[in-house]
Structures are given as structure tokens and as C-alpha cells.
Amino acid sequence: MKIGVLIADDQLSKKIMEKTIGLCREFAVPPEITLIHVVNMKGIAEDIEVGVDLEGDLITDAQKMLAEKGTVLEAARFGYKTAILNGFPAKEVTKYANDGKLDMIIMGHHDLSLMQKVTIGSVAKKIIEDATFPVLLIK
């Protein structure tokens, strides 16, 4: 079993890690765990500041965040790997999983206001709509 855990830099990620570990302990054979973070360079204006390596900074921050969450898995005696994707999160995560890299996604779900739902939707909603694999949402 290959499980992807979508991690964002938010309060919910701690709960996601706790629930992931609890679920993984139930498997007879430990699953392959991939911690995933998506940076969206396409959604950031190109003219932020001349000479700033924004993409490099975002990737470095993502690597640190995933390594920090990885220590939680290591403490629970689970191995892991990481994947940093670039683009719109729902599209990139679904593509990554559908390319045969994952059997299941675990991710957080934030309650959105009506206006947010209408204008931007939800990454979780879009992943569920396009998924051909199980998705576990943590609130």
C-alpha cells in the first residue's frame, strides 16, 4: 500500500500526522508513506522582487517542513519519502497519485466560507471529484 500525506504549513498538519500514524499501525505490512507538499509558482506574480530566488526559497521551506513532519514518522518507526510538486495543488496531487505513485491520499480539510467555496473552491473537494483512489479527509 502506498499512501500519500498532503502536508501544508498549518495547524491541521499535526493532527494529520497523528491520524496517519494511527492508521498505518493498523496495517499488517507497513505502508509506503510519501509526504507531499505543493508549491504553486504559477500562482505567484513574477515581478515580486528582482534577484529573489522565490522558487528556491519555497522549495527550501517545503523541504524543511516535510523533514520536520518526517521526524514524527521516524519516531513512530515508519519510513517515508517526500515529494514536492509544483502547480495547482489539486491537479498536481491527483496527477501524482493517478500516475501510479499512490493508492490513497490523506489530507486535511478546512471549512470554507460560502464566498470561498464559490470563488476558489477547495483543494480537498477538487481532489475528491477527480480521484480514482481513496481519500481520507482529516478535519
Residue 103 belongs to a domain with what CATH number?
3.40.50.620
Question: Could you state, in chain order, the average pLDDT of each consecutive group of 10 residues for the chain (139 residues)?
Answer: 89 90 94 93 58 73 93 95 92 91 87 52 82 88
**Residue 29 gets which letter from DSSP?**
S
- Strand 104-108 relative to strand 81-86: parallel, antiparallel, unpaired? unpaired
Q: What's the confidence (pLDDT) of residue 16?
A: 93
DSSP, collapsed to helix, strand or coil, labels residue 36 as strand
- In which domain, by residue range, is 57 found? 2-137
Alpha helical stretches, state H, the chain? 12-24, 54-75, 89-96, 114-119, 123-130
Paired residues of 135 in beta bridges: 105
pTM: 0.85
Q: What's the confidence (pLDDT) of residue 131?
A: 86
Q: What's the confidence (pLDDT) of residue 9?
A: 72
Question: Which residue, 137, 130, 62, 122, is CA-closest to 96?
Answer: 130
Buried b (16+ CB within 10 A) or exposed e, 57-69: ebbeebeebbeeb
Domain count, the chain: 1
